[in-house]
Amino acid sequence: MTKPTDLVQGTLDLLILKTIALEPMHGWAIAQRIRHVSKNVLQVNQGALYPALHRLEQQAWIQAKWGESENNRRAKYYSLTRAGQKYLKSEESNWERLSSAIGLVLKTV
Amino acid sequence: MRWLQNLSNWLRSLTQRNTVEQELGSELRFHIERQVEENLAAGMSAQEARRAAVREFGSVEQVKEDCRDTRRVNYLENWLNDVRFGLRMLRKSPSFTFFAVAVLALGIAANSAIFSIADNVLIRPLPYRDTNRLVMVWEDASAYDFPKNTPAPGNFNDWKARNQVFEDVAAIANASLNLTGDGNPEDLIGKRVTANLFSVLGVTPALGRDFRAEDDLPGSPHVAILSHGLWLRRFGGDPQIVGKEITLNFEKCTVVGVMKSGVQFPDRETEIWVPTRFTTEQLTNHGNHFLQVVARLKPGVPLKTANANLATIAAQLEKEDPESNAKVGAFAVPLRDELAGDVRPAILMLVGAVCFVLLIACANVANLLLSRATGRRRELAMRLALGATRGRVIQQMLTESILLSLFAGAVGLLLSVWGTKFLATLIPAGIAPMSGSGVDGRVLLFTLVISLSTGILFGIIPASRVSQFHLTYSLKQGGGQSGVGSGGHRLRDALVVCEVALAIVLLAGAALLIRSLQNLYHLDPGFRADHVLVMRTPLPRQKYEAFAPRTSFYNQVLAKVEAIPGVVSAGYTTWVPLTNYGGATGITIEGKPEPAPGNVLIPNTRIISLDYMKTLRMKLVEGRAIEPRDSAGTPPVALINQTMARNYWSGENPIGKNFKVGEYKEKVPWITVIGIVGDVHQAGLDAPARAEMYLPYQQQDFGYEPEYLAVLTSGDPMALAEIVRQQIWSVDKEQPVAGVMPLEDLVDENLSSRRMQASLLSGFAGLALLLVTLGIYAVLSFAVTQRTQEIGVRVALGAQPGQVLRMIFSQGLKLFLIGAAIGLACAIALSRALVHLLYGVSAYDPVSFAVVTILLAVVALLACYIPARRATRVDPLVALRYE
């Protein structure tokens, strides 16, 4: 049972959605992108990544298409569905609220 | 729209499993390959790059499994696997499967069959509109021994006019209708009904029209509505029947409608309805009680209010017309209760009984499964060790038990189709609608539900035991033979105790019913039914208006029938026993003060011919029988029964005393009592006799006409049926002859529901007995197997075979005694519910209880014997090497 204990529940979903919002991406690239962008702070475990992708796909927030990868292999590319775009927006604002609230608490106390 | 996508994703995962699996594999492979490339780019060697990538990824299988989980198809797949595995397990042990399915199927079949009956009689809505508002209204003439009396037309009319609680009130009277014309003359079972009957019930004919008010006026053209059954049987379902003429009682009558098939009112036997055509005179007659009255309550009016209103009206009528209505009350009974009537307690009893049988079957199969689960400990332990959760193992075991119970349910359903047909005869014809085959969607659903719950019930106990065992312990054991925790023993023992207790309850109930039936068969009903042929020859009024032709008809028929070789004697009567519990007339006794209103003596009246008493072999207790000299010219005479002698002339000798029909002032001759006869059970073998008098038909016209011909034969009565009929037709070739049967059939019919109850309950109790025997046997032989080692040690240490035998016996006996004690306590508590079904035996009859306990004890000892014998033959050397 490898679950991202170092990430707040649901955060991985948000990170995945945000990452593929720019362009369709395959699993490996999503993990790489998150690592680079977070300057190596967020290491996404494969054991958590793929179940999360499949769950999001199952819930129809994202969709998958097989395509040609940068190294000329067939890879599974994920992109947001229309519902996923809306979902991402609402999740983003939720996150903003939450993190600013936590920030407030941390600053004042 | 998202859920649509969601669903299609799910379906894709489910139906295109291989594609999805392949995609998952190549997706993860791609990830690793991509990482290898990355590592190579970072300058690792090819081998190192791959190793690092794989290490970083972790367990591919685990990731796959987690991905599958997110697709939520795992559950279904697991389940399908369980089903497949379960089927394999059942196939692997066919004898266990056969036994378990057979035991459960019997239990389920009994439940389904009884359910379909109970559903029909007690639950299913009747085919009328708003059935809850329909009531039957009766006279309460308890003061005259008729606590639920058929109302007089006058009372019906007054209730209808004065009540504030009913929307409408309708009346029904029996009618014997001779259908002549095409085909054989036939005596139809018909009803004369007020024109509003079907609108009160809220039904309309399938063909043609309902009765109209003008159809019900005296003198209007004759019309009739056919029942669906008669329409099909006699008229071949002729769609053009409406408007056609038929001949009823020698008069032209127009068929105006055909009723819908479900409507059988007031009973299943009714074949045709005609209007009452009551005259004003009849509608004011309060003294002639022969109607059935059905009424529809106004919306929102409770039964209590209706009864209060009826009581008020009855009190008014009592004041206005004390002669006929003194001490005559009125009350309403919901139609549903009326129809279910007497069978309700019997059906509830049977519902309880089949539940018990099913519980015993469950306990038995649970016991078997427990033993099997012990044998399968290693398999289950292995599964747990390999990472199956306990929930998964329980799910798998439950799947097996539910599979068993579903098989059993399917077999049980087939059995119940047959069983229901058999059981339908349990329901008297008086109970209205009984649907055709009996097995329908409701029964199917019931069977499914009961099968599933049975599977869960007997599966849950063994399955939950799985969660209690110790892994290492179970895996270490050689064949999983010994070392069963005491918990397993206790559970199995408890199940056997329950079985014994349930079986005692069933056996005790059966014993009480059988004793009741025996009492009834050995009771002297006041007549002998063997070798007696009976039939009805209702004389059409139109043809036999006058007294003389009627008398001559009877005389001729009796003379011709008695002349047939093989006929011992023949007699006519108004009603042979068990066909009419009423038929009573008010009388006045000479020399006694005129009775106050409400105290009028109303003995049953039977008009008979000379040899009727001889034919039924009734007993003459005192005085003389009717003789040829009691003819039209001589003073009228009567025989009375013992109850009448005792009640009306207590302390006197009634012989030679006079009475007359009606009041003192009535201008009719005095009738002299010439003899006393033994009481005849007219109303049913289990009902006490009323006061009753017998008057010779040839002396005067009493208004009641003899209708039943009884013929005493030296051989088989039915063998003479045809020739008797021919003799009747030789007197009058148009005379319908109906209801030809041996009198014994009437007696049997009278006891049929009791006999059916007793035999059904005995059958269920026998089944219970068998199951309990098997249960005790299974538990003990399992225990012997489990204790082989221990017994071996005991024998090695010097225990004698007798001691070993005693040890096993005492284990079985202990279970039996505890079970029997609990069972007897329950039986005593529950037998009170049987009171209504018993006759001449107390609900706490010690003999019955003792007999069943001994019976079960003997059977239990037999069940102990085989395993106990096996225990004595244990060879200590083998036993000690057993593990």
Query: A47-59 pLDDT, tens per residue?
Result: 888 988 988 888 8
Q: What is the pLDDT of residue B90?
A: 86
Cα(B804)–Cα(B794) distance, integer angstroms: 8
The reply to whether B69 touches chain A by the CB within 8 Å rule is yes
Who wins on pLDDT, B533 or A71?
Answer: B533
Could you tell me if B377 and B453 lie in one domain? Answer: yes
Cβ B442 vs Cβ B349: under 8 Å: no
The reply to whether B34 touches chain A by the CB within 8 Å rule is yes
> Across B30-44, B89-103, B609-623, B806-820, which has the greatest mean pLDDT?
B609-623
- CB-based contact B66 A51, cutoff 8 Å: yes
Residue A25 carries which DSSP code?
B
Mean pLDDT, rounded, for B414-430: 70
Determine the distance in angstroms separating the CA of A99 from the nearest CA of chain B, rounded to an integer.
28
Determine the distance in angstroms separating the CA of A79 from the nearest CA of chain B, rounded to an integer.
15
pLDDT class of B227 with cuts at 50, 70, 90: very high
B186 - beta bridge partners? B179
pLDDT exceeds cutoff 60 at B882: no
The structural architecture, per CATH, of the domain A11-108 is Orthogonal Bundle (1.10)
Per residue in B41-62, pLDDT (tens digit) is 888 888 898 898 888 888 888 8
Query: How far is CA B606 from its chain centroid?
Result: 34
Sort out which chain A residues have CB atoms less than 8 A from B389's CB and list them. Answer: none
HEC secondary structure over B297-361:
ECCCCCHHHHHHHHHHHHHHHHHHCHHHHCCCEEEEEEHHHHHHCCHHHHHHHHHHHHHHHHHHH
Could you tell me if B514 and B623 lie in one domain? Answer: no
Helix (H, G, I), strand (E, B) or coil at B532: strand
Which residue in B710, B718, B735 sits closest to B578, CA to CA? B710
- CB-based contact A57 B9, cutoff 8 Å: yes
Total residue count of chain B as it appears in this document: 883
Per residue in B824-834, pLDDT (tens digit) is 999 988 888 88
Q: What is the pLDDT of residue B799?
A: 84
Q: How many domains does chain B have?
A: 4
Q: What is the pLDDT of residue B74?
A: 63
Answer with the one of B704, B735, B766 that is the final residue of a domain. Answer: B735
Who wins on pLDDT, B745 or B582?
Answer: B745
Q: What is the pLDDT of residue B469?
A: 61
Cβ B820 vs Cβ B502: under 8 Å: no
Could you tell me if B610 and B675 lie in one domain? Answer: yes
pLDDT class of B568 with cuts at 50, 70, 90: very high
Sort out which chain B residues have CB atoms less than 8 A from A50's CB and list them. Answer: 27-28, 31, 63, 66-67
Q: What is the pLDDT of residue B156?
A: 94
Q: What is the pLDDT of residue B160?
A: 93
Could you tell me if B292 and B206 lie in one domain? Answer: yes
Helix (H, G, I), strand (E, B) or coil at B260: coil
| % chain B with pLDDT above 90 | 34
> Across A69-78, B71-80, B138-147, B166-175, which has the greatest mean pLDDT?
B166-175
CA atoms within 13 A of residue B64's CA, in its CB half-sphere: 13
| % chain B with pLDDT above 70 | 94
Could you tell me if B846 and B714 lie in one domain? Answer: no
Q: What is the pLDDT of residue B408?
A: 92
Mean pLDDT, rounded, for B518-541: 89
Mean pLDDT, rounded, for B662-686: 88
Per residue in B694-731, pLDDT (tens digit) is 999 988 887 788 999 999 999 999 999 999 999 999 99
Q: What is the pLDDT of residue B430?
A: 46
Could you tell me if B320 and B385 lie in one domain? Answer: no
Mean pLDDT, rounded, for B220-240: 91
Q: What is the pLDDT of residue B727?
A: 93
Helix (H, G, I), strand (E, B) or coil at B35: helix
Who wins on pLDDT, B24 or B480?
Answer: B24
B108-122, B319-333, B345-359: least confidently modelled range: B108-122
Q: What is the pLDDT of residue B470?
A: 59
- CB-based contact B9 A60, cutoff 8 Å: yes
Which residue on chain B is closest to A31 by alpha carbon?
Answer: B31
Radius of gyration from C-alpha coordinates of chain A? 15
C-alpha dist (Å) from residue B622 to B640, B674, B755: 10, 9, 35
Q: Which residue range is the domain that position B548 belongs to?
A: 539-735
Which residue in B640, B652, B651, B653 sits closest to B601, CA to CA? B640
Sort out which chain B residues have CB atoms less than 8 A from A65's CB and list them. Answer: none
B202: left (phi over 0), alpha (psi -120 to 50) or beta: left
pLDDT class of B432 with cuts at 50, 70, 90: very low
The one-letter amino acid code at B585 reads T
B587 - beta bridge partners? B601, B661
Q: What is the pLDDT of residue B1?
A: 64
Answer with the one of B686, B710, B735 that is the final residue of a domain. Answer: B735
Could you tell me if B347 and B403 lie in one domain? Answer: yes
- CB-based contact B58 A76, cutoff 8 Å: no
Q: Exposed, middle or buried, B618 (CB in 10 Å: 0-12/13-18/19+)? A: buried
pLDDT exceeds cutoff 60 at A5: no
Q: What is the pLDDT of residue B680?
A: 93
Who wins on pLDDT, B19 or B373?
Answer: B19
Instruction: Tell me whether residue B98 is in a domain.
Output: no
Mean pLDDT, rounded, for B495-521: 89
Cβ B190 vs Cβ B177: under 8 Å: yes
B137 - beta bridge partners? B293, B332
Helix axes B343-375, B377-385, angle to 10 degrees: 70
Could you tell me if B371 and B477 lie in one domain? Answer: yes
Residue spans of alpha helices (H) in B2-45? 2-15, 17-41
Sort out which chain A residues have CB atoms less than 8 A from B58's CB and list them. Answer: 2, 45-47
> Across B90-99, B235-244, B320-329, B580-589, which has the greatest mean pLDDT?
B235-244
Sort out which chain B residues have CB atoms less than 8 A from A45's CB and list them. Answer: 58
Q: What is the pLDDT of residue B433?
A: 47
Instruction: Tell me whether residue B446 is in a domain.
Output: yes
What is the β-pairing status of strands B708-713 and B532-536?
antiparallel
pLDDT exceeds cutoff 70 at B136: yes
CA-CA-CA-CA torsion for B414, B417, B419, B425, nearest 10 degrees?
-170
pLDDT exceeds cutoff 70 at B351: yes
The reply to whether B70 touches chain A by the CB within 8 Å rule is yes
Q: What is the pLDDT of residue B131?
A: 87
Cα(B551)–Cα(B547) distance, integer angstroms: 6
Could you tell me if B321 and B362 lie in one domain? Answer: no
Q: What is the pLDDT of residue B567?
A: 95
Cα(B241)–Cα(B608) distance, integer angstroms: 41
pLDDT class of A2 with cuts at 50, 70, 90: very low
Phi, psi of B368 (to 5 degrees): -60, -45
Cβ B56 vs Cβ A46: under 8 Å: yes
Residues near B248 by Cβ (< 8 Å), separated by ≥ 6? B177, B178, B179, B188, B190, B222, B224, B272, B274
pLDDT exceeds cutoff 90 at B796: no
Cβ B723 vs Cβ B567: under 8 Å: no
Instruction: Tell me whether residue B371 is in a domain.
Output: yes
Q: What is the pLDDT of residue A45?
A: 82
Could you tell me if B141 and B236 lie in one domain? Answer: yes
**Which among A26, A46, A76 is the nearest to B23, CB-wise?**
A76
Who wins on pLDDT, B715 or B777?
Answer: B715
Answer with the one of B692, B708, B735 that is the final residue of a domain. Answer: B735
Q: What is the pLDDT of residue B272?
A: 94
Phi, psi of B182 (to 5 degrees): -60, 135
Q: Does the pTM exceed 0.90?
A: no
pLDDT class of B110 with cuts at 50, 70, 90: confident
pLDDT class of A4 with cuts at 50, 70, 90: very low
Q: Whole-angstrom distance between the N-terminal and C-terminal Cα of chain A?
A: 36
Sort out which chain A residues have CB atoms less than 8 A from B24's CB and list them. Answer: 54
What is the β-pairing status of strands B251-258 and B207-208?
antiparallel
C-alpha dist (Å) from residue B508 to B495, B826, B837, B847: 20, 10, 14, 10
Could you tell me if B283 and B213 lie in one domain? Answer: yes
- CB-based contact A55 B57, cutoff 8 Å: no
Mean pLDDT, rounded, for B525-545: 89
Q: What is the pLDDT of residue A9?
A: 56
Radius of gyration from C-alpha coordinates of chain B? 38
pLDDT exceeds cutoff 60 at B479: no
Sort out which chain B residues have CB atoms less than 8 A from A51's CB and list them. Answer: 63, 66-67, 69-70
Cβ B568 vs Cβ B713: under 8 Å: yes
Who wins on pLDDT, B497 or B485?
Answer: B497
The reply to whether B22 touches chain A by the CB within 8 Å rule is no
pLDDT class of A1 with cuts at 50, 70, 90: very low
Which of A25, A33, A58, A82 is the best mutation test for B, with the most CBs of B within 10 A?
Answer: A58
The two tokens of residue B831 are 């037998």
Cβ B556 vs Cβ B731: under 8 Å: yes
Cα(B697)–Cα(B719) distance, integer angstroms: 28
B249 - beta bridge partners? none
Tell me whether the omega of the peptide bond preceding residue B266 falls within 30 degrees of 0, making it cis: yes
Mean pLDDT, rounded, for B242-250: 88
Could you tell me if B694 and B547 lie in one domain? Answer: yes
Q: Domains of chain A: which residue ranges?
A: 11-108
pLDDT exceeds cutoff 80 at B124: no
The whole-chain average pLDDT of chain B stands at 85
Q: Which residues of B641-660 are buried (b: 16+ CB within 10 A; e: fewer)?
A: bbbbbeebbeeeebbebbbb
Q: Which residues of A67-106 are buried (b: 16+ CB within 10 A; e: fewer)?
A: eebeeeeebbbbbbbebbeebbeebeeeeeeeeeeeeeee
Mean pLDDT, rounded, for B608-637: 92
Phi, psi of A59 (to 5 degrees): -85, 0
Instruction: Tell me whether residue B114 is in a domain.
Output: no
The one-letter amino acid code at A69 reads S
What is the β-pairing status of strands B329-334 and B223-226?
unpaired
The one-letter amino acid code at A64 reads A
Q: Which residues of B505-518 are buried (b: 16+ CB within 10 A; e: fewer)?
A: bbbbbbbbbbbbbe
Which residue on chain B is closest to A56 by alpha carbon?
Answer: B70
Q: What is the pLDDT of residue B141?
A: 87
Q: What is the pLDDT of residue B843?
A: 87
Cα(B250)–Cα(B181) distance, integer angstroms: 9
Sort out which chain B residues have CB atoms less than 8 A from A28's CB and list them. Answer: 30-31, 34-35
pLDDT exceeds cutoff 60 at B477: no
pLDDT exceeds cutoff 80 at B122: no
Query: How far is CA B821 from its chain centroid?
Result: 30
Cα(B510)–Cα(B525) distance, integer angstroms: 24
A5-9, B383-387, B775-779: least confidently modelled range: A5-9
Mean pLDDT, rounded, for B567-587: 89
Cβ B444 vs Cβ B358: under 8 Å: no
